[in-house]
């Protein structure tokens, strides 16, 4: 249910950048979401249509780019990805010591305006 606040934040960032660039309308938003971020695309889309009515974002398309979670094993120095959204020890040496290299992203990358 935090998607409501999140969607409001996305709209506010987009509108600010749109206005700075004298946009008549924002047609597309490109969002980057890491696999470890707990954000559900469908919920954002659902709130989006409600929140942006009567704004320059009204009717804009949301594009979600999902970044897979990637880890670096501190014991064997290899890199590996999360499989099926499940957290597992290193598949090469079974170590549980790792750094998270990517997957926590959550930002608005760019917008299309007219």
Partner 1 sequence: MTKNISVVEKVHSANDQLATENKLQLDQANLFSLNIMASPGAGKTSLIEGTLPLIKSDYKIAAIDGDVATSIDADRAAEAGATAVQINTGGQCHIDAHMLRNALKELDLDEFDLLLVENVGNLICPASFKLGTDKNVLIASIPEGDDKPYKYPAMYQDVDALIINKIDLLPYVKFDMDYFKKGVQMLNPDLITFPVSCTSGEGIDNWVNWVVDHIKEKKTS
Binding to partner 1 by residue 6, rule CB under 8 A? yes
102: which strand partners? 70
Q: How do 61-67 and 26-34 pair as beta strands? A: parallel
Of 4-12, 45-53, 59-67, the segment contacting partner 1 by CB under 8 A is: 4-12
Does residue 78 touch partner 1 according to CB under 8 A?
no
Count Cβ neighbours within 10 Å for each residue of 19-45 and write b for 16 or more, e otherwise.
eeeebeebeebebbbbbbbebeeeebe
Residue ranges in contact with partner 1 by CB under 8 A:
1-2, 4-6, 9-10, 12-14, 17-18, 21, 23, 27, 31, 36-38, 74, 86-87, 89, 96-98, 100, 104, 106-114
């Amino acid at each position: 249910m935090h998607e409501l606040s999140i969607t409001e934040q996305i709209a506010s960032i987009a509108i600010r950048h749109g206005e700075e660039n004298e946009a008549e309308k924002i047609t597309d938003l490109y969002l980057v979401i890491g696999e470890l971020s707990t954000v559900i695309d469908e919920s954002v889309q659902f709130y989006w249509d409600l929140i942006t009515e009567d704004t320059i974002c009204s009717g804009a398309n949301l594009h979600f780019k999902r970044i897979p979670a990637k880890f670096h094993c501190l014991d064997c120095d290899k890199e590996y990805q999360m499989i099926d959204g499940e957290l597992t020890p290193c598949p090469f040496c079974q170590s549980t010591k790792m750094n998270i290299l990517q997957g926590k992203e959550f930002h608005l990358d760019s917008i299309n305006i007219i």
